[in-house]
Amino acid sequence: MRSADVSDGHVQDAAALPVAAAAAVGAAPRAGARLEIQGLRHRFEGLQVLDGLSFEVRPGEIYGLLGPNGCGKSTTLRVLTGLLEPDEGQLLLDGEPVAPGGRRLRQRMGVVFQSPSLDPRLTARENLRLSAALYGLSAAEAKSRIEELLALANLESRADEAIDAFSGGMKRRLELARALLHEPALLLMDEPTTGLDERSFRSAWERIERLRDERGLTVLLTTHRADEAERCDRVAVIDGGRLIAEDSPEVLRRQVSGDILTLEVRDAEALCAELSERFQLAGRVVDGRVVLEREQGHELIPRIVESLPRGRIDSLSMHRPTLSDVFVKLTGRSLGDDAEPASIDEGVDEGASGKGETA
């Protein structure tokens, strides 16, 4: 569990460093937005899944929608791709109004789904060929694009194998290649790294960042992982189908000023009250743990530990704020992202199929 481990917090910080440079792009004078979403509303089974969601994605940036499952981020992608009709809302592509899921939008978008969208019985090359045909690439164009993208996905040597036997990471890379075939103006990615192990996660992100830097690719992605959101140029924090906050990860993190102390106890509510009474500490209970935000957190640790009877606290940890903490601060709820099971499906075969397949 991430938040219960001090060192883990530092790992996240390190991972977030390269973002600083990219954040400057976000702050630059506004070019026209690539995609503008205005007042998106959608009700489903009595639930307001999207509640007036508005945001814009600028050309050449990686824009992340961060929120827990059910916050409406995947619904937003479904609306964009036409898999769902919204009740209300406008879309502008490069300043021109487009229908949600309309043909003009679909022509210029590439989509990487969370679930597979390739035919497992066909080879990598065959899959790409069919996709190229869907977007009307000429035979010569398709041929050169396919070779180029197979190289990008690091799959040249296995291009003529049925993808059934591919590892999770290889399939993901092929999905990305497929989505890029027609050189989309906007790439949508739904939870792009779900189920990938740490190594594949990093290489997947390096690949996306390279596409942004070298070709100016514009990306809109959804994630419920704070560490993934840290790598975006700008992040929209989504909760209850609304935009709660939006900025670069750096600026968002400043919302949480100090260190984050997490105390695992059996009676979190009681301890929270006790801390407030004895130390005037305003903590809160999140997922059965007491969470405190505090400058100079390390000085507080001995005081708390010494003042409480032995055995009262199961564990106490401290880390620098992450977007996870920002989310908690903004919504009072956790992202629910710390138990990402990287082992159930793709994670396992990713590890098992071994070497030479990570870029």
Partner 1 sequence: MEQVVAGQRVRPALAEELSTIGVLVRRDLMRFVRERSRVVGALVQPLIFWLVIGSGMSGTFVLPGAGDVDYLEYFYPGVVVMVVLFTAIFTTMSVIEDRHSGFLQAVLVAPGSRFSVVLGKSLGAGTVALSQSALFLALAPLAGFSLSEINWPLLLGALSLACFSLCALGFSVAWWLDSTAGYHVVMSLLLLPMWIVSGAMFPAPDGGVMAWAARLNPMGYAVSAVRRALYQGGLPEGTGLWASSTLVEMGVLVGFSLLALAWSVHICYRLR
Site residues for partner 1 per CB under 8 A: 34, 59, 81-85, 94, 101, 103, 106-109, 111, 113, 115-119, 121-122, 126, 130-131, 133-136, 148, 178, 182-185, 214-217
Whichever of 110 and 249 has its CB closer to partner 1, that residue is: 110
Whichever of 135 and 279 has its CB closer to partner 1, that residue is: 135
For residue 219, the minimal CB distance to partner 1 (Å) is: 11
Instruction: Please check whether residue 172 is in contact with residue 192, taking contact to mean a CB–CB distance below 8 angstroms.
Output: yes
Give the residue ranges of DSSP H helices in 225-267. Answer: 226-229, 249-253
Whichever of 41 and 320 has its CB closer to partner 1, that residue is: 41
Q: Which of helix, strand or coil describes residue 154?
A: coil
Residue 290: phi and psi, rounded to 5, are -90, 130
Burial class for 115, CB neighbours closer than 10 Å (0-12, 13-18, 19+): exposed
For residue 109, the minimal CB distance to partner 1 (Å) is: 7
Alpha-carbon span 172 to 324, nearest angstrom: 25
For residue 203, the minimal CB distance to partner 1 (Å) is: 19
Alpha-carbon span 100 to 92, nearest angstrom: 9
For residue 341, the minimal CB distance to partner 1 (Å) is: 18
Whichever of 88 and 198 has its CB closer to partner 1, that residue is: 88
For residue 218, the minimal CB distance to partner 1 (Å) is: 8
Alpha-carbon span 185 to 213, nearest angstrom: 14
Whichever of 182 and 207 has its CB closer to partner 1, that residue is: 182
For residue 270, the minimal CB distance to partner 1 (Å) is: 45
Whichever of 214 and 295 has its CB closer to partner 1, that residue is: 214
Length, in residues, of the chain: 359
Instruction: Please check whether residue 42 is in contact with residue 84, taking contact to mean a CB–CB distance below 8 angstroms.
Output: yes
Tell how strand 35-44 and strand 88-93 pair up. antiparallel
Whichever of 84 and 290 has its CB closer to partner 1, that residue is: 84
Whichever of 12 and 75 has its CB closer to partner 1, that residue is: 75
Which residue type occupies 164?
Answer: D
* Torsion angle (degrees, nearest 10) of CA 249, 252, 257, 261: -70
Alpha-carbon span 225 to 69, nearest angstrom: 10
For residue 71, the minimal CB distance to partner 1 (Å) is: 20
CB burial readout 24-48, b (16+ within 10 A) else e: ebbeeeeeebbbbbeebbbeeeeee
For residue 122, the minimal CB distance to partner 1 (Å) is: 6
